[in-house]
Structure 1
Amino acid sequence: MQLVKVGLCAFGMSGKIFHAPFLKEHPGFFLSAIVERSKEESKEKYSDATIYRSVEEMLQNADIELVVVNTPVQTHFEYVKMALEAGKNVIVEKPFTVNVSQAEELVKLAEQKGLFLSVYQNRRFDRDYLQVQKIINEGKLGNIKEAEIRFDRFRTTASGKAHKEDPQAVGSGSLHDLGSHLVDQAVQYFGFPDKLFADVFSMKGAEFANDYFEILLYYKNDLRVRLKSSVFTKEAHFAYSIHGEKGSFLQERTDNQENELAAGAIPTYRQDWTQPLKEADGILNYLNENSETERILTSSEPGNYMNYYQNIYEHIVFGYYLPSPAEEVIQNMKIIDAAWESSNNGNVVSL
């Protein structure tokens, strides 16, 4: 099996949970370089990786083909550009960049260099997202008329992460953080909208970056899609509510990969590794072919973030499709930028 050498730009939560474990367990990757500016925490589990004290040092000295930029979003543009100019293929964490112009410049640079640039939209591999996609594709709901996708939390105090909560830091706040997931899922399900209206602000107060948003997406076929997130939601809503001409589907947010990884679970290659569901996590209520109502409790199948890295490997080795290519995710950035504009001006923005 061809071995792809990888460099990881940071070893914080993202590196420890979403990237390093998968790179270690996938037989086609070798995690050969990790940036830790002052600590050496990676040595315990990834002793074969050389520790570098800066991204610049790693790019100058490490023999790597692929770079994972998993630093705060405010540094994505600088580090992705630096890696591309060094001749490396790049995976960049979501959100892609802080604005559309940065995203477009990086996509153009990757094309000029003949390199690939993929955005780590890992929620496309969540069990709940995949279940909704399955139900939509089956067509049992008929033409979709209305949908709501939510990502709520109950986090009413500061987390201490300035790059996410400082209102002066461009790209901070829930709109870029969680919004990058919800916008991506809406575009994957329904395509690019015609226009939008948004409300974005901080429930915790002006000293914090936005922690609430509501985006209404308008589609030319009269479909309405609402994206919403709040940090003052103690009781969970259904994460997905899909309503069509023939029925409705409600899906809970039940993917637990992040929590299991944080607790020390080891992801496996080519097989499911998460804990099975103990009960149904969805409700399908629709009119069947005989126009009779059927109400079914549904259970989603396991998701697996390893599939993202398998897709990356197959792209490098066999030339198969690239997962979440950056030129595709530019669409998401356009929606996020337009949501800011709409919220600030109080108007509907055409896309």
Structure 2
Amino acid sequence: MNNKDLAINVALIGYGYVGQYFHGPLLSATEGLRLKTVVSSQVDKVKADFPDVVVVSSAEEAIKDRDIDLVVLATPNETHAPLAELALKAGKNVVVDKPFTLTLDQARHLQQVAEENQVILSVFHNRRWDSDYLGIKAVIESGKLGRIVHFESHIDKFQPRVIDRWRDKNLPGSGLWFDIGPHIADQALQLFGLPESIQANIANLRDNAEIDDWAHVVLNYSKLKVILNCSMLSAGGVSRFTVHGTEGSAVKSEADKQEDQLIAGIKPGTPEWGIDSDDVILFDENLTSSPQATPKGDQLQYYFAIRDTLLGLRQNPVTPLQAIAVMAVIEAAYSSAKSGRVVELTLTSAEKEKWL
């Protein structure tokens, strides 16, 4: 940091969907963070949203800027590891959009580079601050359901036609499991810790699909099954979360609305931000249902925590070790789907002991 009394200067590398609709608005709404530079070839697009930022065409130029304190990577997945390493070695603090990297080995390497250069490295697991997750988490932690035996998490969409974009092409880091898997895997790990093993089925189901567009992944725990599902061919009828315990069940039907709000131009931090009117429905041992209000979501909390971490006021909200565990789940699922076998996470003993 140049001066803890001044705003933290941020370079946002990439201004596609994620940069424009997530990182840009969230960064600009975080007091103490100053979006100074955006790397993009679409100058007019960036200037329409942020007239005062400097727009440059190369990541290297932004990273070399001595005034930049924090580099945020919102670039295609295969660029995450090389760009993060470049920024870390330049002494910059770095936030990487999910997925952290393409491989577990790359993730471990970046953790080592960050430690060697004594800078902060974090991964944008923003879905920890979604209303649907916060609501179901509160129910689980309340103990009302007893011991949890079945947890099901769905992020399903209906997009039957393959779009001409890199995520739908057979490229490194593309496919639905790389896109959605990190979100739902991270939430599961935060709730239940590391699984004993993983079983997965990953497939291309749409006409003309080049890469996976459906995944069904089971995390095996002792006396608990966690099901993670994502699909591009689900037009409805599936709840976001379903949880069963020894004393009851809970269902959260609708998903968090923050992404829709960001696309609609609603500013983070405004009164309507993160409101979720869809209650969590609880079912008790008598099969009686009752609603429980869903708390507001607030993905701004991630960047509040990053700001405070850089100022030395609190801990990194998503540590490299936590993100490494997510990458282990992603890799294990692909391995299981390919082999047809139940597989274990390839984490070291030290990573298993310290990841939280």
Which TM bucket (shorter chain)? over 0.9
Distance 1:275 1:81 in 2: 34
Distance 1:233 1:244 in 2: 26
1:248 positional shift: 0.4
Checking the alignment, whether the CA contact within 8 Å between 2:62 and 2:68 is kept in structure 1 is no
Checking the alignment, whether the CA contact within 8 Å between 1:272 and 1:302 is kept in structure 2 is no
Q: Deviations over 1:302-321 (max 9, x none)?
A: 10111111111111113301
Q: Deviations over 1:151-206 (max 9, x none)?
A: 100011122212x1112x12110111001111111111111100011000110156
Match of 2:105 in 1: 101
1:62 positional shift: 5.3
Distance 2:307 2:141 in 1: 27
Cα 1:43–1:273 change in 2 (3 A) is: same
One-letter amino acid matched to 2:336: S
3-state SS of 1:101 partner: helix
Give RMSD over aligned pairs.
1.6
Match of 2:350 in 1: none
One-letter amino acid matched to 1:344: K
Q: Deviations over 1:226-267 (max 9, x none)?
A: 111111111131111111110101112331111111111111
1:3 positional shift: 1.2
1:54 maps onto 2:43 in alignment: no
Checking the alignment, whether the CA contact within 8 Å between 1:83 and 1:90 is kept in structure 2 is yes
1:316 maps onto 2:297 in alignment: no
Of 116, 120, 123, the match for 1:112: 116
Alignment of 1:163-178 (within 5 A): 164-167=167-170, 169-178=171-180
Checking the alignment, whether the CA contact within 8 Å between 1:2 and 1:317 is kept in structure 2 is no
3-state SS of 1:40 partner: helix
1:293 positional shift: 5.5
One-letter amino acid matched to 1:267: P
Distance 2:43 2:7 in 1: 28
Q: Normalised by the size of structure 1, how large is the TM-score?
A: 0.93
Match of 1:211 in 2: 213
One-letter amino acid matched to 2:175: G
Distance 2:301 2:288 in 1: 33
One-letter amino acid matched to 1:43: K
Tell me which stretches of 4 or more aligned residues in structure 1 moved more than 6 Å.
none
3-state SS of 2:112 partner: helix
One-letter amino acid matched to 1:281: D
One-letter amino acid matched to 2:102: V
Checking the alignment, whether the CA contact within 8 Å between 2:282 and 2:289 is kept in structure 1 is yes
One-letter amino acid matched to 1:149: S
1:286 positional shift: 1.9
1:207 positional shift: 4.3
One-letter amino acid matched to 2:195: P
What are structure 1's unaligned runs of at least 5 residues? Answer: none
1:18 maps onto 2:19 in alignment: no
Cα 1:212–1:20 change in 2 (3 A) is: same
1:281 positional shift: 3.0
1:306 maps onto 2:300 in alignment: yes
What are structure 2's unaligned runs of at least 5 residues? Answer: 346-356
Deviates more, 1:314-323 or 1:301-310: 314-323
Checking the alignment, whether the CA contact within 8 Å between 2:256 and 2:274 is kept in structure 1 is no
1:76 maps onto 2:74 in alignment: no
Distance 2:147 2:6 in 1: 45
1:161 maps onto 2:165 in alignment: yes
3-state SS of 1:350 partner: coil
Distance 2:289 2:38 in 1: 50
1:225 maps onto 2:226 in alignment: yes
1:332 maps onto 2:334 in alignment: no
Distance 2:140 2:164 in 1: 39
Match of 2:204 in 1: 202
Distance 1:350 1:45 in 2: 45
Alignment of 1:264-275 (within 5 A): 264-268=265-269, 272-274=271-273
Match of 2:96 in 1: 92
1:146 maps onto 2:153 in alignment: no
Q: Deviations over 1:69-94 (max 9, x none)?
A: 11010100111011101110000000
Q: Normalised by the size of structure 2, how large is the TM-score?
A: 0.92
Checking the alignment, whether the CA contact within 8 Å between 1:152 and 1:236 is kept in structure 2 is no
Match of 2:38 in 1: 34
Match of 1:281 in 2: 279
